[in-house]
A and B are shown apart, each in its own frame.
Chain A
Amino acid sequence: MVVGLILLGYFLAGYLEALLPENSPTWMRVVVIYASLVMAVGFAYWTRRAIKRRITWPRTGYAAYRRGGKSWWIKIVIACLNVLTFVVVLAFLIRKGHVMSVWNLSPKTWNPRVVLLIVISIVAYAIWISRMSGGHWWKWLVLLLMILGVITLALLAPGDFGQWARPPVLLIAFLWLCSAAGTLYSYVRHTKPATPEAE
């Protein structure tokens, strides 16, 4: 669900940025893009928390997993390094006057970031379901739909790369969210809230 919402935020960022007038200042484009992404991440975090409190915890109980230990600190350091690299690159590009556009609208130039995003999203879903599908065989059909959908859109969608790339990202986001909804539905069907009796 979180991945689907973040992809949706990415799509929204590109869409809103494309709606801005041609002569919009760089800072406005940056604000629109990153405000969309921050809102998507915030919404994903709030939704996940709300589902845990209202659906998961009353059915299968509450647990706060331990943090700490060597592997957890390694993950924190890697996350911080990623954020720092991102901020430094962004600052460098803004200083150099480049527009941080998620969609390259040049008809002859492919945006490797977007292609990589699409490929990583599909591969990540494949890895996720191979490890976590837990008997939900239908998720493999969703993966097939994702791959076939992207290929079909690539062959049929007109326009330049920027116009082509939006529907696949939206499709992948939508399928990730459908998969999450299916998992939640299955979970709710197979569990029921505990009765508030004495423990």
Chain B
Amino acid sequence: MNEQLKAISELDRVIHEPGRLIIVALLWGVKECDFLYLLHETGMNKGNLSSHLTSLEAAGYVEIEKTYRGKVPRTLLCLTRAGRTAFDRYRKSLKAAL
């Protein structure tokens, strides 16, 4: 297998999924955001977005904090340090692969 194909096969599968890639790319640009912001920016439905966030949280890339603003529930999200490192590595690998 040549080096470029090897680089493609070694891409992080958690981030490489299109939906999760959009989410991680958005979170990379912010310190933190809420669920509604991601819903609006990604155009996904709530179930789909929740499912991807659960996968990213399980991989340790995203931190989810459920809180309240007054009486209204609010979910705050941010990339963990591992998530930022993983995304930086993913970007470099993708550039190398292409």
- Residues of chain A at the chain B interface (Cβ within 8 Å): 57-58, 60-67, 194, 196-199
Contacts and interface: CB of A to CB of B under 8 A. Distances in A.
Given A196-B72, A199-B50, A66 B29 contact: yes
Interface residues of B, number: 19
A146 B82 CA distance: 51
B39 interface: yes
B40 A61 contact: yes
Interface stretch (B30-38, B55-63, B89-97): B30-38
A64 B32 contact: yes
B35 A61 contact: yes
B73 interface: yes
Nearest to B37: A61
Q: Most B CB atoms within 10 A — which of A62, A63, A66, A197?
A: A63
Main secondary structure of the interface of A (DSSP, over half): loop
29 contacts: A57-B34, A57-B36, A58-B36, A60-B37, A61-B34, A61-B35, A61-B36, A61-B37, A61-B39, A61-B41, A62-B34, A62-B36, A63-B30, A63-B32, A63-B33, A63-B37, A64-B30, A64-B33, A65-B30, A66-B29, A66-B31, A67-B31, A194-B36, A198-B73, A199-B35, A199-B36, A199-B46, A199-B50, A199-B73
A94 B75 CA distance: 53
Interface string B62-97: 000010000011010000000000000000000000
Contacts of B37: 60-63
B35 A65 contact: no
A60 B36 contact: yes
B72 A64 contact: no
B70 to A, nearest CB: 10
A60 B40 contact: yes
B94 to A, nearest CB: 21
A112 B46 CA distance: 56
A187 B30 CA distance: 22
Nearest to B26: A63
Contacts of A194: 36, 39
Nearest to B70: A196
B54 to A, nearest CB: 12
B88 to A, nearest CB: 13
A60 B40 CA distance: 6
Interface in B1-60: 29-41, 46, 50
